[in-house]
Amino acid sequence: MYAFNKAASELGVRVSKDLESAQELAAQAQQHVLEGNTDLAKQYQAEAASFLTEAKTHRDRAKEMRAKAKKLQGAIPIIEMKSRDAGRAAA
């Protein structure tokens, strides 16, 4: 459970960094458009789009990890109960 939460948190940090990079690249692309360098602007826009796609992928993966952690957390009381029952049956 801890590992899933940790992985989700790390992905959340990655999402923030990817979004920040995408915003910076989009701003640079806009600057190149204003300067008339559309070819370079397109390259920066493509990079920005790539970072956005990556951020969305990481966000979705983080959601999956959190859901798995929650599911495991819910299973722990059941496992503990079955363990106690098995211990009683063995005694």
Measured from the Cβ of residue 55, the count of other Cβ atoms closer than 10 Å reads 20
Rounded Cα–Cα distance for residues 77 and 61 (Å): 26
The confidence band for 90, taking pLDDT boundaries of 50, 70 and 90, is confident
Residues 8, 62: contact at Cβ < 8 Å?
Answer: yes
81 band by pLDDT with thresholds 50, 70 and 90: confident
Would you place residue 14 in the very low, low, confident or very high pLDDT band (cuts 50, 70, 90)?
Answer: very high
Buried b / exposed e over 6-39, threshold 16 CB at 10 Å, is: ebbeebbebbeebbebbeebbebbeebeeeeeee
Q: What is the pLDDT of residue 1?
A: 66
Q: Return the pLDDT at 51.
A: 95
The whole-number average pLDDT for the span 5-21 is: 91
Residue 35, classed as helix, strand or coil, is: coil
**What is the pLDDT at residue 74?**
84
**pTM for this entry:** 0.72
Q: pLDDT tens digits, residue range 30-80?
A: 999 999 999 999 999 999 999 999 999 999 999 998 898 888 888 888 888
